Structure 1
Amino acid sequence: MRIQIVTVGTTGSVAPYTGLAHRLAAEGHDVEIATHARFATMVSCCGLRMRPMEADPFEALITAHTRRGEARGRRPDVPLKTLRSLRQAGEQAALALVDGILTAVDPKADLVLLSTLAAPIGSVVARHHRIPTMGAFLQPDVPSRDFSPCSMAWRPPGPANRLRARIANTAFDALYGPAVRAVHGRLGLAPRSSRRLRTERERGNWPIWHGYSPSVLPRPADWRPGSEVAGYWWAHECPHWQPPDLLADFLAAGPPPVLVGFGSMMPGDPERLGRLAAGALRRAKLRGIVQSGWAGLDVIDDDIITVGAVPHSWLMPRTSVVVHHAGAGTTAAGLRAGVPAVPVPVMTDQPWWAARLVGLGVSVRALPYAELTEIRLADALTAATQSEALRRNAAAVARELAREDGAGAVADALARRA
């Protein structure tokens, strides 16, 4: 089967699909990933074909979200101007994807798998070419009473969660409204609204496979048919990768250090964040590794080093605690490594995943980025490194994940479709 995976966003929105694609290729499928050109090395290292999309609007969108988070930290009533700016940034990001997805979708594909952010546009293009599609999402999308939508704060089970999810989906569809109208116009199709397209997908039981673990978030009993939880899709890694000498020597020179990284997040003042992290590590008397990430963090100290991109599956198991932004991919990698977490959520679904880490007993509490201080981070690090319960819980979750095969679940589902 000729399969194309279309995904857009940040590193965490692309890396898991390299593992899924590699597994599908191993099953004999002809697989291609369509995503932003900046991820060409990540995809090609796996031996996969890639169709690059030049437009990459997410750096500006992340900056807008980060500013909103900082504003909320200073005052709870975010100014209307800031909210309008954020909405406009989301609409512009979606519009910027139209041309890329229009040209990226392969008319000869037998099946197109779409990520959450690619689905509203990609489903229209694939339908125009009469290609079947399937959702391949990294976050829960279908309303349920079991939990609130991941774009809102975590809530315990209750009927209001379904209403919250419908509100969240309506807001998401509104952001994609201009882009969906544009793609219909470009294809010469009668316009359909984003909301109508979602309704059609839901009524038709459009298949969605969610790439996270049922051990972390079980499949709700009230989900419609066609919505399934596969298990995590782990990023495929270059077989020839070797750690830099500085990193290998640092790890060998002392006890497991703390890892501090914010991935694709771009805090307003990376120098301040670097100083804060270094100060917290010194207060807690801990060694640390800081990942530079998109923010460009750069910390140099006697017991702290800074590194660039390093595979999470290699580095995290060699650490004692991971401080991260609680993005879906980084959260998964930390759970797989079996180490406690100190989540510092910045935006969107990150507070929701941070709450799951607390609920799973692998984190004492979340520290929202807007409220982060040196003392609070130092106290959280001390609590995390001294808690035997956190280590036991983290190890137990890691054992559960090791027994799962998320990519294999999708491969099996496709084999049944054939």
Structure 2
Amino acid sequence: MRALILTFGTKGDVEPYIALASALKSAGHEVTVATAAGFEDDVRSLGLDFVPSNSLMLEVMQDALPTMASAADLQRAAKAMTASIRVSFDDQLRAVRGTNPDIVVYHPKCLGAPHLAERLGVPAVLSLPLPFYTPTSSYPIPFVPRDLGPRLNRWSYALNRAESLMYGGMVNDFRHKLGLPALSRWANPLVKPDGRPVDVLYPYSRHVVPVPPDYPSTAHVTGYWFTGRGTTWEPPHELRDFLAAGEAPVYIGFGSMGFVKGSDQRGAAIASALKSTGARAIIATGWGSIAAESTDDVLVIDGAPHDWLFPRVSAVVHHGGAGTTGIGLATGCPSLICPFLGDQFFWANRVHELGAGPRSLPRAQITASALAERITDLVETESYRSNSARLARAISAENGADRAVEILERLA
């Protein structure tokens, strides 16, 4: 089987697909990962084939997120993103022509992927580490903050057609280039033009988000996909010395959630909260979401592989990205989530409902007193630790990437 994996976005968008590619190669298949050029070393370090694409979308995200503070900023970023998506269609076409795949696995940001697979006459499999696409009456689409009841929960998934409305013109231009007929601007992303359903791989754990009883057989909740690359990482001596100098610290980091205009206030709130609780901490500044300075009890770093660092800390405080949440749960870390936007509120609610951490503290509510209260709860509540350990054992037994390989073999 020749598999092409098309993905794009930040590290959290790309890392699971690298793990899937590695599992496919281990199973004896030919596999190529096509993503932004900046991830080439990550891909090739596992002996995988790589096709670079332009980094415009990633650059837009890196430029926009650290300074985003208003709806106008979001609108400007969306406009720049649209321009970058147009360029990405040609990158995806080049990747397909260079690999001639038997099956295509794609992140939804790669809008050209299903149409290229249709042109080739090969299966296209959508994949996202979030239960966003498959309608269910069990809970609403994750961007809706509360349960709406069975009927409205299911109806809420019509929101995922907004992508067709926003980008339908570009998609149809691309389909015309491929010699394919135009699609409706209200097209269902889970239905192929010939009426057959689209298979979806969901790389998260059924122990974290149970599989709804009304999910179709084409919705595959496989378990998480982890590369494990970070476990062999060699830390700088400052980090190793800090970890060895006292009790296991708390990790605090908000990843790619920049929002620099609030970074000083967040840093001050974090410093004050840590001082009042007496907790040792490692603070990861990420894309500039936190302005902080090291002290005897606080080490400030740019970042570190979560699968290396999280087993060495007592608890984690983060923004609630799907990847960070998954690694936190898989390593048995009690978690406090401070959601900034999007699906992060969904993951924050799941962690709290699972008993693996306190109720969330949204970005706008981060103050020194509120954070100190939550951190105290996080590190002193024994049930968070025992529930996290139980979840970690269940997650480790799933072998999500291997399960995904079995599904792809059957579909191809």
TM-score surpassing 0.5? yes
Residue in 2 aligned with 1:356?
Answer: 350
- C-alpha separation between the residues in 2 aligned to 1:214 and 1:38? 32
1:328 is aligned, of 305, 308, 322, to 322
For residue 85 of structure 1, report the CA deviation from its aligned partner. Answer: 4.9
- What is the one-letter code of the residue matched to 1:201? K
Whether the aligned pair in 2 keeps the contact of 1:22 and 1:236 (CA below 8 Å) is no
Secondary structure of the 2:145 match is: coil
For residue 32 of structure 1, report the CA deviation from its aligned partner. Answer: 1.0
Residue in 2 aligned with 1:280?
Answer: 273
2:360 is aligned, of 354, 361, 366, to 366
Secondary structure of the 1:385 match is: helix
- What is the one-letter code of the residue matched to 2:29? H
For residue 194 of structure 1, report the CA deviation from its aligned partner. Answer: 5.2
Residue in 2 aligned with 1:337?
Answer: 331
Residue in 1 aligned with 2:46?
Answer: 46
Q: Which runs of 5+ in 2 are unaligned?
A: none
Say whether residues 1:158 and 2:150 are aligned partners: yes
* CA 1:66–1:308: 2 relative to 1, 3 Å: closer
1:262 is aligned, of 254, 260, 265, to 254
* CA 1:154–1:11: 2 relative to 1, 3 Å: farther
Residue in 2 aligned with 1:401?
Answer: 395
Residue in 1 aligned with 2:136?
Answer: 144
Length, aligned pairs only: 407
Kindly report which structure 2 residues correspond to 1:51-70, keeping only aligned pairs within 5 A, or say none: 51-61=51-61
Whether the aligned pair in 1 keeps the contact of 2:270 and 2:368 (CA below 8 Å) is yes
- What is the one-letter code of the residue matched to 2:298? I
Residue in 1 aligned with 2:298?
Answer: 304
Residue in 1 aligned with 2:197?
Answer: 205
Say whether residues 1:384 and 2:383 are aligned partners: no
**% same residue:** 33
TM norm structure 2: 0.91
Whether the aligned pair in 2 keeps the contact of 1:205 and 1:224 (CA below 8 Å) is no
Say whether residues 1:20 and 2:14 are aligned partners: no
- What is the one-letter code of the residue matched to 1:162? R
Q: Which moved more, 1:142-151 or 1:275-284?
A: 275-284
Instruction: String of CA shifts for 1:185-208, please: whole Å, max 9, x gaps.
Output: 433433224532626339412211
Q: Which moved more, 1:149-158 or 1:399-408?
A: 149-158
Whether the aligned pair in 1 keeps the contact of 2:3 and 2:101 (CA below 8 Å) is yes
* CA 1:144–1:92: 2 relative to 1, 3 Å: farther
1:95 is aligned, of 71, 86, 90, to 86
- C-alpha separation between the residues in 2 aligned to 1:320 and 1:365? 18
Q: Which moved more, 1:325-334 or 1:90-99?
A: 90-99
For residue 176 of structure 1, report the CA deviation from its aligned partner. Answer: 2.5
For residue 279 of structure 1, report the CA deviation from its aligned partner. Answer: 2.4
* CA 1:65–1:349: 2 relative to 1, 3 Å: farther
Whether the aligned pair in 1 keeps the contact of 2:123 and 2:411 (CA below 8 Å) is no
Residue in 2 aligned with 1:316?
Answer: 310
Instruction: String of CA shifts for 1:151-177, please: whole Å, max 9, x gaps.
Output: 2224275221111111x2122322332
| Root-mean-square deviation (Å) | 2.4
Instruction: String of CA shifts for 1:235-261, please: whole Å, max 9, x gaps.
Output: 340675212211111111111101111
- What is the one-letter code of the residue matched to 2:135? P
2:104 is aligned, of 112, 122, 131, to 112
Residue in 2 aligned with 1:127?
Answer: 118
Whether the aligned pair in 1 keeps the contact of 2:22 and 2:227 (CA below 8 Å) is no
For residue 24 of structure 1, report the CA deviation from its aligned partner. Answer: 0.9
Whether the aligned pair in 1 keeps the contact of 2:66 and 2:289 (CA below 8 Å) is no
For residue 386 of structure 1, report the CA deviation from its aligned partner. Answer: 0.9
For residue 129 of structure 1, report the CA deviation from its aligned partner. Answer: 2.7
Q: Which runs of 5+ in 1 are unaligned?
A: 72-78
Residue in 2 aligned with 1:190?
Answer: 181
* CA 1:239–1:319: 2 relative to 1, 3 Å: closer
Whether the aligned pair in 2 keeps the contact of 1:65 and 1:347 (CA below 8 Å) is no
- C-alpha separation between the residues in 2 aligned to 1:322 and 1:212? 19
* CA 1:38–1:194: 2 relative to 1, 3 Å: farther
Secondary structure of the 1:5 match is: strand
Say whether residues 1:410 and 2:404 are aligned partners: yes
For residue 266 of structure 1, report the CA deviation from its aligned partner. Answer: 1.2
Whether the aligned pair in 1 keeps the contact of 2:230 and 2:308 (CA below 8 Å) is no
- C-alpha separation between the residues in 2 aligned to 1:66 and 1:50? 29
For residue 215 of structure 1, report the CA deviation from its aligned partner. Answer: 0.5
Instruction: String of CA shifts for 1:49-100, please: whole Å, max 9, x gaps.
Output: 11111133245357767877x55xxxxxxx7x67755654554453343232
- What is the one-letter code of the residue matched to 1:44? R
Whether the aligned pair in 1 keeps the contact of 2:232 and 2:308 (CA below 8 Å) is no
Instruction: String of CA shifts for 1:298-342, please: whole Å, max 9, x gaps.
Output: 532221112234221121011111111101000001101111111
Residue in 2 aligned with 1:173?
Answer: 164
